Amino acid sequence: MKKTLQEQYERKERKKQILLWTGMVGVIFLAFGTAVLGASDTSVRDLFAAIGEAVKTGGNPEDTGHKVIFLLRLPRIVMAVFAGIGLSVAGTAMQGITGNPLVSPFTLGISNAAAFGASLSLVFGIGIGAGTEGGVVFQAFLWAGVCTVLVYLVSSRAGLGPESMILAGIGLNYLFSAATSVIQYFADEHKLTAAVQWAFGSLNGAAWEQTVIVAALVTICSVALFFMALDLNAMAAGDDEVAISLGVHPERVRILAGILAVLMTAAVISFTGVIGFVGLAGPHMARLMIGNDHRYLLPCSGLWGAALLLAADAVGRMLLAPVVIPVGIVVSFIGVPVFINLVLTAGKGGNGWDWK
Number of residues that bind another protein (CB under 8 A): 37
Nearest distance, CB of residue 346 and another protein, angstroms: 9
Could you say whether residue 350 binds another protein (CB under 8 A)?
A: yes
Please write down the HEC assignment for all residues of the chain.
Answer: CCCCHHHHHHHHHHHHHHHHHHHHHHHHHHHHHHHCCCCCCCCHHHHHHHHHHHHHHCCCCCCHHHHHHHHHHHHHHHHHHHHHHHHHHHHHHHHHHHCCCCCCCCCCCHHHHHHHHHHHHHHHCCCCCCCCHHHHHHHHHHHHHHHHHHHHHHHHCCCCCHHHHHHHHHHHHHHHHHHHHHHHHHCCHHHHHHHHHHHHCCCCCCCHHHHHHHHHHHHHHHHHHHCCHHHHHHHHCCCHHHHHHCCCCHHHHHHHHHHHHHHHHHHHHHHHCCCCCHHHHHHHHHHHHHCCCHHHHHHHHHHHHHHHHHHHHHHHHHCCCCCCCCHHHHHHHHHHHHHHHHHHHHHHHCCCCCCC
Could you say whether residue 10 binds another protein (CB under 8 A)?
A: yes
**Of 88, 71, 13, whose CA–CA distance to 307 is shortest?**
88
Stretch that binds another protein, among 7-15, 30-38, 197-205, 313-321 (CB under 8 A): 7-15
Residues 269-308 that bind another protein (CB under 8 A): 287-288, 291-293, 295
Could you say whether residue 163 binds another protein (CB under 8 A)?
A: no
Could you say whether residue 4 binds another protein (CB under 8 A)?
A: yes
Could you say whether residue 99 binds another protein (CB under 8 A)?
A: yes
Nearest distance, CB of residue 246 and another protein, angstroms: 5
Nearest distance, CB of residue 281 and another protein, angstroms: 15
Could you say whether residue 24 binds another protein (CB under 8 A)?
A: no
Could you say whether residue 197 binds another protein (CB under 8 A)?
A: no
Nearest distance, CB of residue 2 and another protein, angstroms: 11
Nearest distance, CB of residue 352 and another protein, angstroms: 8
Residues 118-157 that bind another protein (CB under 8 A): none
Could you say whether residue 60 binds another protein (CB under 8 A)?
A: no
Could you say whether residue 237 binds another protein (CB under 8 A)?
A: yes
Binding residue for another protein (CB under 8 A) from 154, 170, 192, 230?
230
Give the nearer residue to another protein in terms of CB position, either 58 or 247.
247
Stretch that binds another protein, among 61-69, 104-112, 246-254, 271-279 (CB under 8 A): 246-254
Chain residues in the site for another protein (CB under 8 A): 4-6, 8-10, 12, 95-96, 99, 101, 227, 230, 233-234, 236-239, 241-242, 244-249, 287-288, 291-293, 295, 350-352, 356
